[in-house]
Amino acid sequence: MAELRHVPAHAGVEDVVRLEDETERLRGLDYRAGGGASRDAAVACARHHDRFLEADLTDAVRARLLVALADLHNLAAWTCFDTGRPEVASRHWERALALATEAGHRDLEANVHYRVGRLRLHHCRWREALERFTRGLAAARRSGSRRAVALLHANQAWEVRLPPGA
């Protein structure tokens, strides 16, 4: 992971670009080696870069930072889920959802709802999963992402497979 420096009084687009690059590096490591290879770095990076919201930011930089942080928390959550830490994953997904919502990034909101729904399915919490997929579908429709709509519809179909009384 890139060296974690202090939070500057002012942050610019170059800081956000470094964060986006680091997130992509960590995502690539996750793809190649699994969540355990990148979890600690992703969690530490998210914790550190959340503090950048306290810096002096232009509106444009803040908007891009919100999306970059939401994406990083989404990745950190996935790596936590992948390594058997669902409570920590849930906290990161809630943070990602708040940031994506504030940024107005509906496609990312839909993706976070999808992932939380998958966590709920994994733990046999069928109704909660369906609720998350439904909320994600609403965000996906607002985003205009046909891919996200299809993904969420496919996951809603799990409800059909629920055991009686679930």
Q: Residues 26, 71, 40, 121: is their CA dihedral positive or negative?
A: negative
Q: What is the pLDDT of residues 12-34, one digit of tens each?
A: 999 999 999 999 999 999 999 99
Reported as a single tens digit per residue, the pLDDT across 65-93 is 999 999 999 999 999 999 999 999 999 99
